[in-house]
Structure 1
Amino acid sequence: MDLLHIGNRIRKIRMLKGFSREYVYTGIVSNSHFSNIEKGRYQPPTETLRLMAKRLDVPSHYLTDFYEDDSEIVEVIECIESGIKNHQFQQAQSIFNKYQEKLTYVSSVWQELNLNLLRFDVYANLHQNDEAKKLFERELQGIIDLQDVPPELQYKYLKICGTYFFMQKDYEQSLLHYQQALNSSYAVADQIPVRYNLALCYYQLGNIEKACNSLNKVLHYELRIQNWIAAIHSYNLFGALFQKEKDYQQAQSYYQYGIALSELIQLKEVLIIGKLYHNLGLVYFEQENYEEAEKMLLHCLELRKDAPQIDKVKTIYLLINIYIKQGSLNRADDKLEQYKAVIPNSLVIFSRAKIAYAQQNYDDFEQYILQAMRLFEEEKEDVYLVEALEYYIPYLEEKRKYKQAYELLKRYHYIKNKGVM
């Protein structure tokens, strides 16, 4: 069903309010006539729309002015776009909240579409992924023919589709939509964020060379126009790309460039600064420099003490791993108890498996590791599932359970290689 016709809006209101079809059309149009309206086969006259609006208990303009832009909404959209452009996503969200009543019934289908795209963008950047997915599936999924959409919204829609599929971990579809978005606009200001997102896709798909090529263009542009915040994000991604290649010196340099630039401009955005310190801590962890890793991670947690809990999960989990690697099992257990309400249950159980293994409590280890692997599969957390298999397969080999180890080894290689282009 195409979302961009009045019938879809009527149907959406009717279903949201729990009204039957008969309740809406009785005394206004016939059953078959109403069916054609909802399916977009017929455009009803203004008077019919007014009567239906009254029956649906919505302002009449919400149905009669379907293609009429509201000048006040234009200003609201400009303010939200400015916030997004400057990475001020909390500010953009506050604008949505401030004009909540005004934005409840936006007459123009194009302004409503634009606002939903912007709202999705804000949700995504604030890591409110559940809200973003619900919004996409309720309001955005189902546009059949993009040729009916204004060009500037085509670009936004394709970009948002790319982000939606990225959230779903469907990186092939994400890449496809980002490439379509890139081809839909020749404006450099549009192409730069898409190229950044393409770099993220290539990173997830294991094509580091293409990721670096795409990101290199982004960083040069951001530094040239002095978009410092965006440049800091690019430094962070460059660090992650080199870290994936185990080029730790380069990775460390890029994270430090990002930190230095954030200090130079006195950046207060703790989310990206926290990422830089977390990733720098991860570099030290991978080099087995656990003392420096711990310093970076504790600083990251201090920076993010007032941030949403979801932003702290990976840092806490990595800190627990440091204590396990150091043999400080009591500290690991204490940290796990302190944060078990914050960390997903799957990671709590996996951490308990690691502690049990370090304590040579193999019965508990088997119980925990199998439970953790099952949860990772359910949650489609392939990264953690691979890590769990890296723990469990050698254990099975030590116990001479070769057949079971072999079957899991095949699964391990499948998961590791399925995303590689």
Structure 2
Amino acid sequence: MYIGRRLAYLRRKRGFSQEGVAAGVVSRGHYSNIEAGRYRALNDILVSLADKLDVPANYLLQWESSSPVLEHYLIKLQYCLDNYEYKEAESFIQTITKEFTYINSLHQEIHFLLLESLFYIKIKDYHRAKGVIEKVQYLTDEGKMVPACLKYLFYYVTGAWFYVAGFYEKSLENFKTALEKASSKNSTARLYYNMALALYETYDRGKAAEYGKKALEIFINEHKWLHIIYIYLLLGVIHWDKREYSESEAYLHKALDLVKVYGNDELEGKVYHNLGLVYDSKHDKEKSIKYLILSVDKKLADNCESIIITYGVLAEVLISAGQITRAGEVVRAAREYAKSEEHFSMLMAIEAKIHYTRENWTKYEEIMERLITYYRESERWSDVKLLSEEYSEYLGNRYKYKDAFYYSRAALEAYRKLAEKGGGIR
């Protein structure tokens, strides 16, 4: 049956019908039975099919034969992914792709595809990850034919894919299935951490913290310091979100102490960013600005994509601290790193606040109307609701009652849209 899935994948990829690929080799009915796993094809038939499908004969003949060299590479690749060594992981993927254009062993091919898709998920290349995962799903018949020794990895990767795709409940289901098949403390801890991330996204902050602490306990006992930094960071975010600022501050400083020892600019930038948020919530603007500037510096050194978000938060804090000129300078610096409409709209919203503070009413109104129009066209109803309510109140205070009514209606429309999608006030 396994070879049938490979044949079906190759046939569809080459654009053949069953009748087309079978012509001159076997009857269409016999071929259909081979694909479905009802008959085991003779070697001479597989050789002829390989020729038709333009693949080496051994790719169909030796699908049960493993390569010790490839197995060694796969173990190394797994290690690199488990320990955030992505440059080394990429090097192994390139080596495997070059040396094994066709991986004869179906077991090893599925193993490699799972690790390759996990690599693309981790480096946020979701387009390539999607293509690889679709191949895995096809070869394994949606997971029904995964070899027993790969079931943990299959459900782990599938859970990770559903997480980045925003399907958090499905992500949790797959992580829970993987947990049943985990064979080591490290595997269990990684799943606890991933489950904490998914639970956080489902607004179950209490359980997210619970699973985060379970992972933390194991990783501390195993001396996995880089993993511990990530968990401290997550727990800091969870407690900040719960408005437990002292607990958040404590976890983030623990993360900072470790990250300085192990030297990781990206992680250090994230810790500084979140400390900036914590101190802003504690109304310590001086410390908030200090840590956000440190975050910007680290993210500049690491060429980190999220620098635009830190610039935005820094500008907001500067505005609330009354440092309007500095906020304007930060927005101007941030424009260089804006890569999407979402980024530009975020900076426009900050510019609107700067103009409001300076009482540049014409400019403020122009930007607000452009922003609300953009958010409505993009169906970003939370943003429409928030900005329309703010702008309607402003217009009412300026005695522009007709316009105020129009934007209050826009806010109401957004509220209804959110309610329809189950996205009302939480």
| TM tier relative to shorter chain | 0.7 to 0.9
> Given the alignment of the two structures, is residue 167 of structure 1 paired with residue 164 of structure 2, yes or no?
yes
Q: Which amino acid aligns with 2:159?
A: G
> How far did 1:69 drift?
1.5
Q: Which amino acid aligns with 1:346?
A: E
Residues of 2 paired with 1:330 and 1:392: CA distance? Answer: 24
- Aligned partner (choices 298, 318, 323) of residue 313 of structure 2: 318
**Counterpart residue number, 1:355:** 351
**Counterpart residue number, 1:282:** 277
Change (3 A) 1:311 1:146: same
Q: What TM-score, normalized to structure 1?
A: 0.86
CA contact (8 A) 2:163 2:198 kept: yes
> Given the alignment of the two structures, is residue 230 of structure 1 paired with residue 236 of structure 2, yes or no?
no
Q: Unaligned regions of 5+ residues in structure 2, if any?
A: 356-360, 397-403
3-state SS in 1 of match to 2:203:
coil
After alignment, is 80-89 or 219-228 more displaced? Answer: 80-89
> Given the alignment of the two structures, is residue 375 of structure 1 paired with residue 378 of structure 2, yes or no?
yes
Q: What TM-score, normalized to structure 2?
A: 0.85
Residues of 1 paired with 2:329 and 2:129: CA distance? Answer: 37
Q: Which amino acid aligns with 2:210?
A: N
3-state SS in 2 of match to 1:304:
helix
Q: How does 1:254-273 map to 2 (within 5 A)?
A: 254-264=251-261, 267-273=262-268
Q: Percent identity?
A: 24
User: Which string of whole-angstrom CA distances, capped at 9 and with x for unpartnered residues, describes residues 378-413 of structure 1?
Assistant: xxxxxxx63553233232244442444334345557
**Counterpart residue number, 1:197:** 194
Residues of 1 paired with 2:128 and 2:277: CA distance? Answer: 29
CA contact (8 A) 2:159 2:170 kept: yes
After alignment, is 136-145 or 53-62 more displaced? Answer: 136-145
CA contact (8 A) 1:349 1:369 kept: no
Instruction: Tell me how many residue pairs correspond in the alignment.
Output: 406
Residues of 2 paired with 1:312 and 1:109: CA distance? Answer: 42
Q: How does 1:51-66 map to 2 (within 5 A)?
A: 51-66=48-63
Q: How does 1:362-401 map to 2 (within 5 A)?
A: 362-375=365-378, 377=380, 386=382, 389-398=385-394, 399=396, 400-401=404-405
User: Which string of whole-angstrom CA distances, capped at 9 and with x for unpartnered residues, describes residues 188-229 of structure 1?
Assistant: 232111111111111111111111111111111111111111
**Counterpart residue number, 1:382:** none
> How far did 1:76 drift?
0.7
User: Which string of whole-angstrom CA distances, capped at 9 and with x for unpartnered residues, describes residues 55-86 of structure 1?
Assistant: 22222111111122211111011111111222
User: Which string of whole-angstrom CA distances, capped at 9 and with x for unpartnered residues, describes residues 96-148 of structure 1?
Assistant: 11222223311111111111111122222222222222321233367447564
Residues of 2 paired with 1:152 and 1:327: CA distance? Answer: 59
Residues of 2 paired with 1:291 and 1:119: CA distance? Answer: 44
Moved over 6 A (4+): 413-416
**Counterpart residue number, 1:381:** none
CA contact (8 A) 2:388 2:410 kept: no
Q: Which amino acid aligns with 1:9?
A: R
**Counterpart residue number, 1:303:** 298
> How far did 1:28 drift?
1.4
Higher relative contact order (CA 8 A, sep 6+): 1
After alignment, is 350-359 or 255-264 more displaced? Answer: 350-359
> Given the alignment of the two structures, is residue 121 of structure 1 paired with residue 118 of structure 2, yes or no?
yes
Change (3 A) 1:46 1:132: same
**Counterpart residue number, 1:245:** 242
Q: Which amino acid aligns with 2:300?
A: K
CA RMSD of aligned residues (A): 2.8
Residues of 1 paired with 2:424 and 2:48: CA distance? Answer: 55
User: Which string of whole-angstrom CA distances, capped at 9 and with x for unpartnered residues, describes residues 160-179 of structure 1?
Assistant: 11111111111111111111
CA contact (8 A) 2:232 2:251 kept: yes
CA contact (8 A) 2:315 2:328 kept: no
User: Which string of whole-angstrom CA distances, capped at 9 and with x for unpartnered residues, describes residues 212-261 of structure 1?
Assistant: 11111111111111111111111011101101101122112111101101
Residues of 2 paired with 1:8 and 1:306: CA distance? Answer: 47
The structure whose Rg is larger is 2
Q: Unaligned regions of 5+ residues in structure 1, if any?
A: 378-384
Q: Which amino acid aligns with 1:138?
A: K
> Given the alignment of the two structures, is residue 8 of structure 1 paired with residue 9 of structure 2, yes or no?
no
CA contact (8 A) 1:236 1:276 kept: yes
CA contact (8 A) 1:67 1:109 kept: yes
3-state SS in 2 of match to 1:101:
helix
